[in-house]
């Protein structure tokens, strides 16, 4: 998929006006999930925004209780009803747990795609081995893989797979739950570029080939700042300094 460098992560957003403001600010990739319990909020924001539906990439994720083969279509249709849409552009397996069985879940997702309920099928929070297994069972190409990716936690093996098979990694939590603001390296780089640690973190994430990101923001100022951060070009020294931070902070372990 050809995704913009920065989209909107909506976990925790409970006001359609925020989603509408994001779209009106220029966001074209909106990401939600069944487990966020806000698909209706996202759908309301889309309806209120001044943008054509065809200009937006809308993604949602099937939770682990919708992954049995016999539940995939019903789960997808329930998400579409909450979103107020006829189809989504991208439908993820949120986690390979619960009722997930690659041999039966993924063919059911192919069927949903063939029925026109989604244009693309993606994965989220998979290991490299699980991605390889999914590839064996999915007729449709893996359109995207959504993973935790920020200066304190990123997996080179997943990045290499995305590059090898030419699909985007969609990086969630690029600001590490706000921890980027307190990191000395990011503070130093931000001072050098006369910007914020948040902008530096987003620019570092999007500096990687085959990586886009979906930070969450609620205020108009933060929405616009996150979107603009993709235009910040870090030099090789700054990228290497950030990549060399010796700290592992996985926020959402399996």
Displacement of CA 11 from its chain's centroid (Å): 11
pLDDT score recorded for residue 25: 97
Indicate whether 98 belongs to any domain.
yes
Helical ranges in the chain per DSSP H: 16-25, 39-48, 72-83, 102-114, 128-137, 156-165, 184-193, 197-206, 220-229, 236-243
- Report if residue 104 sits inside a domain: yes
65, part of any domain: yes
- Domain of 36 in residue numbering reads as 8-179+209-228
In a domain, 204, yes or no: no
Residue with tokens 């304190």: 152
The pLDDT assigned to 254 comes to 74
The dihedral through the CA atoms of 170, 203, 175, 59 has a sign that is negative
Gap between the Cα atoms of 131 and 139, Å rounded:
13
Position 196 in a domain: no
Kindly give the pairing relationship between strand 29-31 and strand 88-93. unpaired
Q: Is position 158 within any domain?
A: yes
Q: What is the pLDDT of residue 246?
A: 86
Q: How many domains does the chain have?
A: 1
pLDDT score for 248: 82
Q: Give the position of tokens 């999007």.
A: 206
Q: Is 3 left (phi over 0), alpha (psi -120 to 50) or beta?
A: beta
Active-site residue, from 27, 36, 92, 100 = 36
* pTM > 0.75: yes or no: yes
Quote the CA–CA distance of 229 and 175 in Å, as a whole number: 12
Per residue in 114-154, pLDDT tens? 999 999 999 999 999 999 999 999 999 999 999 999 999 99
Q: Supply the CATH number for residue 14's domain.
A: 3.20.20.100
Residue 59, domain member (yes or no): yes
Torsion of CA 161, 32, 25, 203, to 10 degrees: -30
Q: What are phi and psi of 210, to 5 degrees?
A: 70, 20
Per-residue pLDDT of the chain (254 residues; tens, 9 = 90+): 999 999 999 999 999 999 999 999 999 999 999 999 999 999 999 999 999 999 999 999 999 999 999 999 999 999 999 999 999 999 999 999 999 999 999 999 999 999 999 999 999 999 999 999 999 999 999 999 999 999 999 999 999 999 999 999 999 999 999 999 999 999 999 999 999 999 999 999 999 999 999 999 999 999 999 999 999 999 999 999 999 998 788 998 87
Structure tokens given for 135: 């590839």
Q: Does a structural domain hold residue 245?
A: no
193 catalytic residue (yes or no): no
Buried (b) or exposed (e) across 139-171, using 16+ Cβ within 10 A? ebebbbbbbbbbbbbbeeebbebbeeeebbbbb
């Amino acid at each position: 998929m050809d995704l913009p460098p920065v989209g909107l992560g909506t976990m925790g957003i409970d006001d359609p006006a925020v989603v509408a403001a994001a779209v009106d600010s220029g966001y074209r990739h909106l990401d939600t999930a069944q487990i966020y319990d806000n698909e209706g909020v996202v759908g309301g924001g889309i309806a209120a925004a001044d943008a054509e539906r065809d200009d937006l990439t809308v993604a949602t994720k099937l939770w682990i209780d919708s992954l049995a083969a016999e539940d995939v279509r019903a789960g997808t249709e329930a998400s579409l009803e909450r979103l107020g849409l006829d189809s989504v552009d991208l439908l993820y397996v949120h986690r390979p747990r619960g009722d997930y069985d690659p041999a039966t879940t993924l063919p059911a997702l192919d069927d949903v795609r063939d029925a026109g309920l989604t244009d693309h099928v993606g994965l989220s929070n998979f290991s490299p081995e699980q991605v390889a297994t999914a590839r064996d069972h999915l007729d449709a190409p893996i359109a995207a893989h959504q993973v935790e990716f920020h200066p304190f936690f990123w997996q080179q093996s997943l990045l290499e797979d995305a590059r090898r098979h030419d699909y985007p990694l969609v990086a969630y939590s690029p600001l590490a739950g706000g921890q980027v603001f307190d990191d000395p390296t990011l503070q130093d780089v931000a001072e050098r570029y006369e910007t914020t640690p948040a902008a530096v973190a987003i620019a570092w994430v999007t500096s990687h080939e085959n990586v886009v990101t979906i930070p969450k923001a609620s205020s108009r100022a933060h929405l616009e700042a996150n979107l603009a951060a993709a235009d910040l070009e870090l030099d090789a020294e700054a990228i290497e300094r950030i990549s060399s931070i010796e700290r592992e902070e996985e926020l959402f372990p399996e």
